[in-house]
Amino acid sequence: MNKPDEPFDQKLTQHYKERKERITLTSDQQKALLNTATHTKPKKPTRFSFTLQLTSLACALGVFAFIVFDNNNVINTEPKTVLNSVFNTIDIHDYSIIKTHEINQAGSYASTFTEQKHALDSQLANDLRRHQQRHIEYGTLVKVDNDWYIASCNDEVLVQIKQSLLRDLKGKHAVESNINTGDMLAMAHNGKGQIIALKHAGAGVRQCGA
Amino acid sequence: MLLSIKSWLFETPSKDCMASYAKSGDNRYLEQLIALYSNDLYHYLVTQSNTHLAYDVSQQTWLKVIEKRHLYQGQTTPKAWLFKLARNTLIDEYRRQKHFVELDENTHLAAQNDKSESGLTIGSSNISYDAFDAALKQLSFVQREAVTLQQEGFSLADIELITQSSLETIKTRLRYAKQHLKRLLGANNEQA
């Protein structure tokens, strides 16, 4: 740290004062400044910002109401929670479509789609068509509780297999043993889009896109 | 009773005219502010530019005071707030004129010589004034600013607020500025 140089500082202050005394506004300039300033009507930013705040609030309320009421029209929106597992964390809202497969109380096979509202109609038509085709769908088993949750290799689809269907498939020996969370599975669909078997994907399919 | 009448008749200026003006918008306070600080601001602006631009920016600053008075908060001194406003206005003006984009230690925006100043009658006792003026103009923008603000009586914290620079940066600028000035003034004295 440098020591303060007092004589120089004093000299500096003296020079500065002298300079400041010389450089001042002329009386005409000062009058003109006063005149300009005092005759300028201030804008009213507070009123403007208040209006802006009101408008923003109204918009926010509108959006909120839209979201709330629109959500009420969506059927079977559960589960809405984030599914946490050791293997992965899934937010249901990351998926456009949730396919649920189960055997209902009447004993017949039922599958439903729960669509997030942002899914496009055209996507729905395509998915329905794909759903009804006979094919093998691949996906990773990400969560097991009573039901199984399989993140399909079709990124937008989470397949939920309910306990009822699992029980039925196991009864028919259509579920391979030793399936664990994190395994890549192959889901065999029949011509109606129903899941008829669950097994490990072949050795060649270790991950989606492989 | 007499005291209250006296204070009503001869109202002493509020300690913080800016706060009063921000609150009421009363032109009386604005006039007080102009009377108190217009010359200080003008001198600072001349030091950082030239008389023509300084007057122009000075006018713009006072108009901004009117527009932005609601943004003033009492935690800073009114003078520091006004200087910050003036500085920002000057920099905006420089950027508009594309004089410079970034402010750093090397930005050498030497204050320009004004004919009005150089035309002053200078007696033998004023040699040091000219030397000081010339030396000040040779400093970089930020160093000249640091010295000017310190000489205006601002604390380091105030300068920090006005220039939006760190304390250490300001100390360094001041140290270098004084070293330069000392060297330049010493050289001038030797020449004289």
A86 and A57 part of one domain: no
| Range name among A32-36, A142-146, B113-117, B171-175 with the lowest pLDDT average | B113-117
Interface contact B27-A30, CB threshold 8 A: no
Domain boundary at A72, A94, A128, which?
A72
Instruction: Report yes or no on A208 lying in a domain.
Output: no
Q: What is the pLDDT of residue B7?
A: 45
Strands (E), B30-145: none
Q: How many domains, in total, are found in chain A?
A: 2
Interface contact A15-B39, CB threshold 8 A: no
**Which of A11, A19, A43, A47 to substitute to test the interface with B, most B CBs within 10 Å?**
A19
pLDDT in tens, B9-49: 444 445 688 888 888 888 888 888 999 999 999 999 999 99
A131 and A67 part of one domain: no
Q: What is the pLDDT of residue B119?
A: 36
Instruction: Report yes or no on A77 lying in a domain.
Output: no
Q: What is the pLDDT of residue B118?
A: 40
Q: What is the pLDDT of residue B142?
A: 92
Interface contact A22-B117, CB threshold 8 A: yes
Interface contact A12-B120, CB threshold 8 A: no
> What is the C-alpha end-to-end distance of chain B, expressed in Å?
64
Average pLDDT, chain B: 79
pLDDT in tens, B166-182: 999 999 999 999 998 88
Q: Is B181 on the interface with A (CB under 8 A)?
A: yes
pLDDT in tens, A77-98: 454 556 666 556 677 667 767 7
Instruction: Report yes or no on A205 lying in a domain.
Output: no
CA distance A158 to A81: 13
pLDDT in tens, A37-47: 878 766 555 55
pLDDT at B129 over 60: yes
For residue A41, what are the domain limits?
A: 6-72
Domain boundary at A27, A49, A72, which?
A72
Instruction: Report yes or no on A195 lying in a domain.
Output: yes
At the top level of CATH, the class of B122-192 is mainly alpha
CATH number, domain B16-99? 1.10.1740.10
Percentage of residues of chain B with pLDDT beyond 70: 73
Establish whether this prediction's ipTM goes over 0.90: no
Interface contact A15-B132, CB threshold 8 A: yes
Token pair 């088993």: residue? A141
A22 and A88 part of one domain: no
Instruction: Report yes or no on A207 lying in a domain.
Output: no
A106 and A194 part of one domain: yes
A86 and A168 part of one domain: yes
**Which of B21, B39, B121 to substitute to test the interface with A, most A CBs within 10 Å?**
B39
Q: What is the pLDDT of residue B102?
A: 54
Residues of chain B with CATH 1.10.1740.10: 16-99
What stretches of A1-120 show up as alpha helix (H) in DSSP? Answer: 6-22, 27-38, 45-72
Instruction: Report yes or no on A209 lying in a domain.
Output: no
Domain boundary at A32, A50, A72, which?
A72
Instruction: Report yes or no on A1 lying in a domain.
Output: no
A148 and A68 part of one domain: no
A184 and A97 part of one domain: yes
Q: In Å, what is the CA distance from B148 to each residue of A19, A174, B124, B152?
A: 11, 86, 25, 6
A59 and A91 part of one domain: no
Average pLDDT, chain A: 77
Taking the CA atoms of B7, B8, B10 and B11 in sequence, report the sign of the dihedral they define: positive
B177: left (phi over 0), alpha (psi -120 to 50) or beta: alpha
A104 and A36 part of one domain: no
Q: What is the pLDDT of residue A37?
A: 80
A64 and A90 part of one domain: no
